[in-house]
Structure 1
Amino acid sequence: MDVSKPPVLCIVGPTATGKSALGIELAKHLSGEVLSADSMQVYRGMDIGTAKVTREEQQGVPHHLLDLVSPDVRFTVADWVQRADAAISEIHARGNLPIVVGGTGLYIRAITEDLSFAEEEGSEEVRRRWFSYLQQHGPEALHQALRERDPASAARLHPNDTRRVIRALEVFELGGKPLSAHYDWRVKGGRYWTEQFGLTADREVLYERVNARVDRMMEIGLLEEVAELRRLGYHRNLTSMQAIGYKELLTYLDGEVSLEQAVADIKMATRRFVKRQLSWFRRDPRVRWLHLDEKGGIRSDDLQDILTIGRQMLAGIRNASRE
């Protein structure tokens, strides 16, 4: 803990654990403003499938880093970091506490560490070649090709995350070094004083919450949302349309699977995503894990612990502004 640095409170963990609701509750007690650390919530028009908080759900709490670009615009982690740093600076200037909420591990890591995300030169030709390889041989073979060249990145990336697998292969082929070599993953601390609280539950409970959440998304119009994006010309090869829920429903809309199968695929993909999120965040020893109770909330003692630290952070922000 380095209280001399600008403070940022982080609420992390897998999907369907209630991070957004907790972030809003904390913000109301701590003069906080919420920053979304979700790589798919940056896209406009993708609301239901990304579980983007509605205006009503925000309860008047300012939210940042939502709806930044159209689904066909390339948006990198470097872009997100730039936006996040600017928002955090503005929030501090207002004397408020930034509360970063989300499950995209690399975004959180970019806040807790000073990672470099300098853009590497790319090659459209190399990308096309690996995309052709994917179409001919499938995602497992593509992932195996990465495993042979960059085992560390292959361990971090799911075979179905074909866009990032292709990017890792591209970086290796162009530079001769694995993508994993570009980042220092040691826990050292970065430009902010960060405190991380992670939400979790028993695996069976998490899976039940995932299934119920997908059913709810379908009830409130996820299929219609995906159909509208498709009508607007956002195709399956876009990064945004590879998001869980969108990719599966596009296969249904293209007549490749039944709706029942598409929904089952969404639930399975989300459960696998939960496992990857847990594996990612558990590698960081600084995360303090809070177990959801039978009602899906956290214990009052845990809430008070977060509020105590949050008040210390808020006091630091306001003392700094008076100096």
Structure 2
Amino acid sequence: MASRLSLALDTGLLRLPDEGRIAVFGGEVGDTLDALPRDRTDVIQTDFPRHQALLRAGWHALTAPAPSASGPHAAALVIVPRSKDAAHARIAAARALTDGPIIVDGQKTDGVEPLLRALRGRARVSDALSKAHGKLFVVEGGEFADWASRPLEVDGMVTRPGVFSADHVDPGSALLAAALPGALSGRVADLGAGWGWLARAILAVPKVTEVHLVEADAVALDCARESLADPRARFHWDDVTTFRPHTPFDAVVTNPPFHDGRKGAPDIGRAFIRAAAGMLQRHGTLWLVANRHLPYEATLAEAFAEVQDVGGDARYKLFRAARPRTARRG
């Protein structure tokens, strides 16, 4: 199925500038990007797996907006994210890079329609092309400096719009932190560390010598870097499911994601469990929190010889798993 961008270009509803670079915010390998000139497109993608896929496919991928060496970008494409504040921040960043058109493409479920209404009050906006439960339109002019991404503060730590649980401490992480034993020690990994709140709780345990934060969202990891000045903290922008430490860990702590966009994806959590088993020493321990409805018990039993349900509440369950079946020698 042709993308909305391809259809707009093929039917003459949209014309790209003949020269100059095009900035894309949130793009990934697929039909939408394929409609753009690869040799003059800069894709800003902060998700590690998607960023790596772009590089493998030959795209010029960045983790943050950057001015073109040849001058302002000729145009920008904004893929609408789920967070309203993150969508506003992308529009502001796009306008900071170009005086030209900003093409906006998004799904109704991600809030493209309220974004369209907000933009119509601030700039010249074309008619929208509707297709496949989404819309594409073009923004000309407008000033969006007040929409720019600004740091937030939650429990004394830095977050930013669009990162997971940007405006509050995730209750699952809080429950897991309260259950962690004071006897936790040695080298510990926080898989899917987000903006670092759980890692800070681990660092409060005196016998912990290192905490390795592994996180796929570059923005969230940068927030953690800003908040955690502890020299024991190590930061890894990486995919948890493929990350391999040089030395196996004594413990792994995780509150794994279970959504891909708006779709439930419990396989992500299962992959986190398998990856954790492969990162641990033979004596290593996994501490995991999960929503009550997530079916992780079978995977835990496959990956660990010893699995304990250590409590939780009506919404979350907590597990301690030991004796990993695929442990690495320390």
Same fold (TM over 0.5): no
The answer to which structure, 1 or 2, has the higher relative contact order (CA under 8 A, 6+ apart) is 1
Greater share of residues in helix: 1
TM-score (norm 1): 0.28
Which has a greater percent of strand? 2
Structure of larger gyration radius: 2
